[in-house]
């Protein structure tokens, strides 16, 4: 953490959570999500991303970390058809005797960004495959392309843009836009790609 940039402006300040979750809460979720195994994910991939299962709320859980690697949120995907299908936990923590969390902002993190940040200090060119969601990030990683991060949506926030610029800008790195193959993903590639292409080399993956 000592090598992380000083948070001297509002955007930099937003990407480091001042009130992280106790990582030990993940021990309550240390169960293998059967549906992900059946869909083709390996136990090694699930363990790498700390994906678990919440037996209290019947949701597959995806821990979310900030750039420093601190646990800042948990997203749960319902396996029983509950709405919303994906939910950032807030009141759910109360079932374990923990206080609720109401103020976390999705756009302050790049999913898997804390691992990409480790590459930053290698002083080498950093290429990044940029996807939308948790599972897309895991699929790409499992396929052997480990330099992958997710926006957690098709919209790119200013903090996310700053992270990508700082990782790739000035090093000759490339951001490979690999968002979902639907109109939201196409729109996201167009808007986010044009925005970040002013400062970073961008290529859009067609499939």
Q: pLDDT per residue over 58-69, tens digit each?
A: 999 999 999 889
At residue 80, the pLDDT reads 96
Q: Is the pLDDT of residue 181 over 90?
A: yes
Q: pLDDT per residue over 117-157, tens digit each?
A: 876 655 667 899 999 999 999 999 999 999 999 999 999 99
pTM for the predicted model, two decimal places? 0.89
Mean pLDDT confidence for 4-12: 51
Q: Is the pLDDT of residue 2 over 50?
A: no
Q: Is the pLDDT of residue 8 over 50?
A: no
Strand-pair partners of 176: 129, 203
Strand-pair partners of 131: 150
Q: Is the pLDDT of residue 4 over 60?
A: no
Using CA atoms, how far apart are residues 169 and 77, in angstroms rounded to an integer?
34
Q: Is the pLDDT of residue 177 over 50?
A: yes
Q: Which residue has the tokens 């700053």?
A: 162
If you average pLDDT over every residue of the chain, what do you get? 89
Other beta carbons less than 10 A from residue 136's beta carbon: 20
Using CA atoms, how far apart are residues 109 and 132, in angstroms rounded to an integer?
12
Q: pLDDT per residue over 33-54, tens digit each?
A: 999 999 999 999 999 999 999 9
Q: Is the pLDDT of residue 96 over 60?
A: yes
* Long-range CB contact pairs, 47-54, < 8 A, 24+: 48/141, 49/112, 49/134, 49/137, 49/138, 49/141, 50/26, 51/134, 51/138, 52/26, 53/29, 54/28, 54/29, 54/92
CA atoms within 13 A on the CB side of 147: 18
Nearest to 150 by CA among 45, 38, 62, 46: 62
């Amino acid at each position: 953490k000592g090598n992380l940039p000083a948070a001297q402006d509002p955007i930099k300040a937003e990407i480091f959570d001042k009130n992280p979750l106790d990582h030990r809460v993940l021990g309550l979720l240390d169960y293998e999500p059967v549906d992900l195994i059946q869909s083709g994910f390996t136990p090694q991939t699930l363990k790498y991303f700390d994906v678990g299962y919440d037996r209290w709320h019947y949701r597959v859980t995806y821990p979310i970390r900030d750039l420093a690697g601190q646990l800042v949120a948990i997203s749960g995907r319902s396996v029983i058809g509950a709405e919303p299908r994906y939910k950032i936990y807030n009141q759910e923590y109360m079932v374990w005797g923990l206080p609720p969390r109401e103020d976390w902002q999705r756009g302050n993190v790049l999913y898997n960004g804390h691992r990409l940040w480790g590459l930053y200090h290698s002083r080498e060119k950093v290429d990044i495959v940029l996807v939308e969601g948790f599972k897309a990030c895991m699929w790409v990683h499992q396929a052997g392309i480990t330099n992958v991060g997710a926006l957690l949506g098709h919209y790119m926030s200013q903090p996310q843009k700053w992270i990508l610029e700082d990782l790739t800008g000035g090093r000759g790195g490339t951001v490979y836009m690999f968002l979902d193959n639907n109109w939201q993903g196409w729109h996201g590639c167009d808007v986010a790609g044009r925005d970040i292409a002013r400062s970073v080399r961008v290529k859009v993956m067609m499939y």
